[in-house]
Structure 1
C-alpha cells in the first residue's frame, strides 16, 4: 500500500522536527560512485573480514521515515564493523518504484531494499493481512507480534522466495481518518462518508462495514479529490498527510489508529548468503534494531504532528467507542478468513503477542 513520496516536501516536514538528523550524512550525489564501488567488489563473494559497501535503497526522500530507518541501519552497521563496512543510502534516487526496488534486490543488483508490504504481496499473499482493521491493539502489541511468531512466520515465507531474504520489519505508520467537513466522534458518524480508499478488497470491505462509501482514488489524486468534493475523507498518518499536502484541504483528524501499515527490510539472498556468519549476524541484527528505532521514532513524531495541527485549530477527536468500531468490522475478518484460510492462524498469533 506504499505510495510514492513527494521527496522534497517530506524533507522539509521532517526537517522541522526535533529528530530531524536522519539523513546520516549520505548524499544522493554519491550514488553513482557508490554503485560502481559495490559492483566492482562483487556482491556474491565471501566477504569475511573484507571491506565492503552495502547499498540500501528506498523510494522516499531524504529525511523521510524510511530514510530515518535506513540511516539508523547505516549507523549500526558501520559502528558494529568499526568502519570496515560502509553503507550508502539511496533516498529515492535509485528508483521511485517499490516493486522495481524489490526486483533489483531479487536479481542481486541491489543489496538491501527498504520497502512497504504492498510491494511484496505478490510474493507472499499473507502480507495482505496488515490491511485488516484493528489488527493490533497498540505499539507494544505491534512490537511483540513482529518480533515473535507472527513476524517470524511472515519473514520465513518471504525468505523462501527465490532471491529474497527478509531481514526485519520497519514502519509505515498508524493510519487515522482525515475529513474535510464532517467530524468523526463515533462509529455512527461514518455512515455515508465518502472515503478515499485503495482498490483493495480488505479496505473496501472495511469501509462498507463501517457504513461509509469507499471511493477508489490513486494516492496522488487525494488532494484534488478532497478539494473538489469527490471524497469526504481519507486515511493516513499525519506525517504522510502533511508530506503529500492534503492536510491543507481537511479540517478534522480522527485519531483512531484503525490500520497499522508495516514495511520490510529485504536483502539479496545471493549477496547475503555470500557473507561470513559474523557479517550476516551484524546485518540481520542491525536491520532488526533499526526497525525498532524507526517504529518508536515514527509514533513519537506522528503524535507530535497531530498535536501541532490541533494547536493550529484542526478538530482532533479520539473516539472512545472502539469496541463498537471493532464490532462493525468483525464480518470483514470472517470474509477474509474464507478467502485467505491462513490468516486466522496469523491473527491468533497477533492476539497472543501481548
Structure 2
C-alpha cells in the first residue's frame, strides 16, 4: 500500500516554536495531485509551497500531499474538491473543460505564442473574466494561484507531423473538447485520455499521436514509445492551485495570508522552472532517440488556418469569450 508524502510534520512541537503554537491543535489539510514527482517543475514548487506554509505558520498547519493519483485522477480533482473530500488540489486547466468550458482557452490552437505570453495574459486579468468566480460560486473552489505547463507539442508514434495533412487518418489522444475539435478540423480522430494512460496506448498502437507538454513525455517516458516530436506551441495549459471554499472560510485570516503568499511564490517558482525546462527538454528528447522537428512558416500557418474555426466556436459558446481573446491579442507582443 502506497504511503502519502507528508512534508509538514510535528517538528514545531518538538522544537518548541512558541508556547501558543505548541498548545494549539494543528490545522490539517489534505493536498491531492494526480501528477507524479517525476513532473519536477510542478512537483518542486508544490514541495516548496508545503514547506513555506509549515514554516510561516510555525507548525500550525500540516499539509499531507498525495501524489500520482493516489486519491483522485486529473478529471476527478475538481469534483473531489467541491465535495470537500480533499482540501487542496492542483488542477490542470483543460481537465476542467467539460465542467467549465472557459478553461479551454488554454488549449485553443496556436493562440499563445509562448509561456511568457500566457503570463502576461494572466497578469492582465484573463481568469478574472469569469473562471475564478465560477469556480468559487459553482464549485466551492477558491483559486490560490495559477502557473504554467510548458507548451503542448505533437508526439507521434511512427510518422512525423510536419504539415496539416499529417494529422489525417490518425487517432489522437486529447485532453479537452477544444483541442479535440482542433484535431478533428485537421482531419484526425480525437479520443479523450489522461496522461497516465498514454504510454500503454502508444505501446499497444491504440493511438498514433497526442498533443502534450514536453514534461509529459519525460514524466511518462513517452520517448520509449514514440519516434517523433514536432514543435509548434499548440497550446499552453495551466496548473491551478485551489482550496475548498468552506475550508478556506474556516481558516484564520493570518493562515489565509500565509497560504496566499506561499501560492504566489509557488507560481513564480513554476514559471521560472518552466522557462529553464523548455531550454533543456529538446536536447533530452534527442538524447533519448526521438527525432525532433520544428513546424514553421507556411506549414504552421496552414495549421492555424485549418483550426481557426474552433476558436470562433469557443468564443460564441463562452460568456465574454471575445473579451478573453482581446486580452490574449493585446498581450501578444508586449
User: Do both share a fold (TM > 0.5)?
Assistant: yes
Equivalence for 1:338: 316
| Residues 163-202 of structure 1 mapped to structure 2, 5 A cutoff | 163-185=140-162, 187-188=163-164, 190=166, 192=168, 194-198=170-174, 200-202=176-178
Alignment CA distance shift 1:225-1:100 (3 Å): closer
Equivalence for 2:252: 276
Post-superposition shift, 1:298?
3.4
- Note the alpha carbon deviations across 1:223-282, whole angstroms, 9 max, x for none: 455445554322212321233343212211112121112121111111211223332222
Q: Which of 219, 225, 228 matches 1:243?
A: 219
2:115 corresponds to 1:139: yes
Distance 2:87 2:249 in 1: 11
2:98 corresponds to 1:112: no
Post-superposition shift, 1:348?
1.3
Equivalence for 2:18: none
Distance 2:6 2:309 in 1: 51
2:29 corresponds to 1:54: yes
| Residues 306-317 of structure 1 mapped to structure 2, 5 A cutoff | 306-317=282-293
Q: Which of 322, 329, 333 matches 1:351?
A: 329
Residues 160 and 228, structure 2, Cα contact 8 Å, conserved in 1: yes
Alignment CA distance shift 1:183-1:157 (3 Å): same
Distance 2:68 2:289 in 1: 33
Q: Which of 184, 192, 213 matches 1:208?
A: 184
Distance 2:223 2:169 in 1: 18
Distance 2:209 2:69 in 1: 32
Tell me the matched-pair count: 314
Q: Which of 293, 297, 302 matches 2:273?
A: 297
Give the secondary-structure state (helix, strand or coil) at the position aligned to 2:45.
helix
Give the secondary-structure state (helix, strand or coil) at the position aligned to 2:168.
coil
The two structures, once aligned, show a CA RMSD in angstroms of 3.2
Alignment CA distance shift 1:194-1:242 (3 Å): same
- Note the alpha carbon deviations across 1:16-54, whole angstroms, 9 max, x for none: xxxxxxxxxxx72659x99xxxxxxxxxxxxxx974333
Give the secondary-structure state (helix, strand or coil) at the position aligned to 2:238.
strand
TM-score normalized by the length of structure 2: 0.80
Distance 1:200 1:249 in 2: 23
Equivalence for 2:134: 157
TM-score normalized by the length of structure 1: 0.76
Residues 155 and 167, structure 1, Cα contact 8 Å, conserved in 2: no
Residues 105 and 111, structure 1, Cα contact 8 Å, conserved in 2: yes
Equivalence for 1:71: 47
Name whichever of 338-347 and 49-58 sits farther off.
49-58
Alignment CA distance shift 1:69-1:128 (3 Å): same
Structure 2 residue runs without a partner (length 5+): 11-23
Residues 171 and 262, structure 1, Cα contact 8 Å, conserved in 2: yes
Residues 55 and 88, structure 1, Cα contact 8 Å, conserved in 2: yes
- Note the alpha carbon deviations across 1:159-208, whole angstroms, 9 max, x for none: 222532121213343211112332333x3453535141338542233123
